Structure 1
Amino acid sequence: MEVFDVNFFLTSFIVLQGQCSGGTFTEYNNLYNTALTGYNKDGRPLQDQNHVMIVVLDFSLLTIADLDDASSKLVTVGLFTILWRDEVITWNQSLYENTKELHIDESLVWKPSMALINTMSINVGLLGFKQSKIEYSSDGVAFWHIADRYQTTCDFDTTYFPFDKQTCELKIVAWDYTIQGLFIYPLKPTVDLTYFSENGAWELVSTETRSEYLAYYSVVVFSLNLKRRPLYFVIYRLIPVFTMLFLNTLVFILPSDSGERVGYAINCLLALAVFLTLVSEGLPGDSEPMPVIGYVLTVYLIISAIICVLTIFILRLHHKEENKEIPPSFRKMYNILTCATCKKRSRTVEAYLSTTDSENVEENDKHKKSSVLPLTWKKLSSRLDFICFISSLSSVITVGVVYFVIVMS
């Protein structure tokens, strides 16, 4: 196999960009006819057929037209530049009045047949058009531009949606010859972004190119490392969900006798359910992997439903008849919620007090016990309102914080 000389192709690339054809039309026509006389487009244009044809690819990305995670589709607009050396089409410039270049229709000459492996089109994604031209220099360097709109597949990992990062690739294979006859290389280690236009939904973080093998065929891969722009989803999806959950927790602050608590809680639940239906349309449709945000929204819906259940339960306790005895289990729960046991433990300091001080403490305790109001259903429901408000608000904040920690780590 021949040694690959990138510098040669890169120098030829620069020279071809800056030169003009020169000469007269007559000499250009004579050169054109001479070059194609006896030319066989079905054979590799190498004088020694034992050598390997070296082809170099460069990709200039113009824009990312679409990136659809639901259909795993990447649509790009770009320009492929393909270079090789044709040892048959060469000439002495001085014999043709300094004619430096030829432009020949691609259907008339040999060219490397290459295709996109991961194309989404029904047919094989062949590169090139019948009407495109190939530019030749006098030393045989061929210069071929192929501009098109390319639809390729992209394997998405939406676990951390909408803060996810994706790597999409364009894979080019030379399928007419094995690596014994033709080998393709990337011209540069990165994709050319000179004329790139930014996409509103995705940020292009970096690019890279590499050579691979597919069985006995040569492959060049152009990788695009992309990062989703999450601001739209955060403003129009996440913030409204957090706001609705916060408003839902405020149901425990409403007075129990207002008669609006159950209606308020159910309205918040319905509003959240309807909004989550709209939000789900913007989420990736794949179940593997399942986006973390899907679990978060489900947990929030469950929290909202639990708030409705707790509201109904507390109102039922609040409106019980006052002459009805409170069960011991509710009294024990109330003592736990009010930290009554903690207060009893604090009285163990009596052992360290003097006898006179101990007697005063006992008298004060008796006075306090006599002045403490008995436990009622309204006091119990009021304490439950406070605890449920703190618990539900803490749950909403905790779930949100855990989500952002996971996706931002």
Structure 2
Amino acid sequence: MHVALKFKMHTLKMVITGVLLLFVLHSCSCTTYADQRRLHDLIKSSFDPRIRPTLDQTKAINVTVIPHLSAFIKLDAREQILKTSFGLELEWSQDIFTWNMSEFSDMDMVTVPQEQTWIPGIHVLDTITTFTPLTEASEDLMVLLYSNGRVKLSVWFNLDTKCEVTITMYPFDVQTCHIIIGKLYDTDKKMIMAPETERLEIWNRNHDEWSIISTGVKQYVYHPDFTGIAIKINIRRKPAFYIINIFIPIFVLCFLNILSFMIPPECGERISYCVSLFLTLSVLLNAVSDSVPKVSNVSFLQVFVILDIVFSAFITIMSIAIVRYEHLNRHEDVCDVRRDDRPKDEFNDANAEKSNDVSSNVVRLDFAYKVDTYLFRGSVLVYILAIVAFILICYFA
């Protein structure tokens, strides 16, 4: 009896151990190499990359597009080219092949090369470089195939697209760039593209010159038989560089130009001082012209610099006129001194005339100083109004 009891206890332990082992194996649900190989062979034999994966070929395949802006590289304003780094996530359904997860060790998803299955031919229609389909640009693309028939594909690429730049408010401008993604061969009867969201997902917003203010994604009909995706990106230029390196130096030069009215008219350096500032502004205008895009419309920055040059030219002309006026008066004084060398009997009459001429010269010199004062006050008023207008434009731009 004792031996039989031991045998029963040993049998019970073995049964419990076996049950626990089966439970652990069942909970692991380990995927075997044989299951993977068998599933890949079935997929390879089921798909034909040349034929759309739908049993009813009269039905269109709906492709959901999820765009991602991974990096905003550059907007070349002179060439009007937008450089970005983009990503597209494509999702669609196929009904020619599904599998039961329980028959393949609970595998829900498998990765297959792109040449083993059908993928949509998608192009960037406004690119300025190669016109290769995005899904064929790389040979190592992998497709995610799910057991319920869902298919996912991710494509990443660098884009050079055309972007029309408007420089009217440059450098306080806001630009809108569009990227059109569509099809060339599959009409809407075969494939329909639609965005998942109305906003572009942005991974990196940091940029030295531009800031992204808004984005938009919508379905876009660019041909009666073709529907694509239109991506809109609104960007604003950061004007700090231009304010520090162009606007502030111009305001300083204009203020120095106004100070020329404080130089006495009889000083010989007044005209050279004004001409030097005028030439400095002219050189600055050339530097500004090199940085502005070569388009037909005129920018705010160009108008600003041109008005400053006109303002400087006006001050230079007025300074020349005042110095010339004072020089003529001085020349008349010299002539009067030479006429004083006369006989003694005419000396009294000459002194009387000289006293009248001196009084007249004092009046003329006083007139020159008054003109300088009025011009200085008027120039300061114009200068203050220009600063106020500039601040308002910076605030509301």
TM-score band (shorter)? 0.7 to 0.9
2:257 corresponds to:
248
1:5 corresponds to:
none
Measured in 2, the distance between the counterparts of 1:32 and 1:97 equals 14
1:157 corresponds to:
166
Q: What do you get for the CA RMSD once the two structures are aligned?
A: 2.3
Cα shift at 1:314: 0.5
Cα shift at 1:229: 0.9
Measured in 1, the distance between the counterparts of 2:118 and 2:278 equals 68
For residues 6-405 of structure 1, what are the structure 2 equivalents within 5 Å?
23-124=31-132, 126-127=134-135, 128-193=137-202, 195-215=203-223, 216-287=225-296, 289-321=297-329, 376-403=363-390, 405=392
Cα shift at 1:67: 0.9
Measured in 2, the distance between the counterparts of 1:255 and 1:64 equals 56
Could you report, residue by residue, the CA deviation over 1:28-82 in whole angstroms, capped at 9, with x for unpaired residues? 1211111110422111111112222100111111110111111111111122111
Q: With the length of structure 2 as denominator, give the TM-score of the two structures.
A: 0.80
Measured in 2, the distance between the counterparts of 1:22 and 1:220 equals 42
User: Secondary structure of 1:376's partner?
Assistant: helix
User: Secondary structure of 2:328's partner?
Assistant: coil
Distance change >3 Å, CA 70–CA 124, structure 1 → 2: farther
Partners of 1:292 and 1:403 within 8 A in 2: no
Cα shift at 1:89: 3.4
Cα shift at 1:96: 1.2
Unpaired runs of at least 5, structure 1: 1-20, 326-371
Distance change >3 Å, CA 197–CA 401, structure 1 → 2: same
Measured in 2, the distance between the counterparts of 1:201 and 1:242 equals 23
Cα shift at 1:130: 1.6
Cα shift at 1:185: 0.6
Distance change >3 Å, CA 401–CA 122, structure 1 → 2: farther
Q: Which amino acid letter does the alignment assign opposite residue 384 of structure 1?
A: V
User: Secondary structure of 1:224's partner?
Assistant: strand
Would you identify which runs of 4 or more consecutive aligned residues in structure 1 move more than 6 Å? Answer: 372-375
Cα shift at 1:374: 8.3
Measured in 1, the distance between the counterparts of 2:30 and 2:234 equals 43
Cα shift at 1:392: 2.7
User: Secondary structure of 2:171's partner?
Assistant: coil
Cα shift at 1:305: 1.5
User: Secondary structure of 2:169's partner?
Assistant: coil
Partners of 2:285 and 2:302 within 8 A in 1: no
User: Secondary structure of 1:31's partner?
Assistant: helix
Q: With the length of structure 1 as denominator, give the TM-score of the two structures.
A: 0.78
Could you report, residue by residue, the CA deviation over 1:137-160 in whole angstroms, capped at 9, with x for unpaired residues? 111111111111111111212211
Unpaired runs of at least 5, structure 2: 1-28, 334-358
The alignment of Structure 1 onto Structure 2 pairs a total of residues equal to: 341
Please state which structure has a larger fraction of its residues in helix: 2
Measured in 1, the distance between the counterparts of 2:327 and 2:393 equals 44
Cα shift at 1:24: 2.2
1:15 corresponds to:
none
Identity of aligned residues (%): 23
User: Secondary structure of 2:98's partner?
Assistant: coil
Q: Which amino acid letter does the alignment assign opposite residue 99 of structure 2?
A: W
Measured in 2, the distance between the counterparts of 1:124 and 1:71 equals 23
Distance change >3 Å, CA 62–CA 25, structure 1 → 2: same
Cα shift at 1:217: 0.5
Q: Which amino acid letter does the alignment assign opposite residue 58 of structure 1?
A: I
Distance change >3 Å, CA 269–CA 137, structure 1 → 2: same
Moved more, 76-85 or 101-110: 101-110
Cα shift at 1:124: 4.5
Could you report, residue by residue, the CA deviation over 1:102-134 in whole angstroms, capped at 9, with x for unpaired residues? 211112211110000111204346344121111
Partners of 1:74 and 1:154 within 8 A in 2: yes
Cα shift at 1:394: 2.9
Measured in 1, the distance between the counterparts of 2:165 and 2:34 equals 56
User: Secondary structure of 1:320's partner?
Assistant: helix
Partners of 1:79 and 1:147 within 8 A in 2: yes
User: Secondary structure of 2:139's partner?
Assistant: coil
Partners of 2:66 and 2:197 within 8 A in 1: yes
User: Secondary structure of 2:208's partner?
Assistant: coil
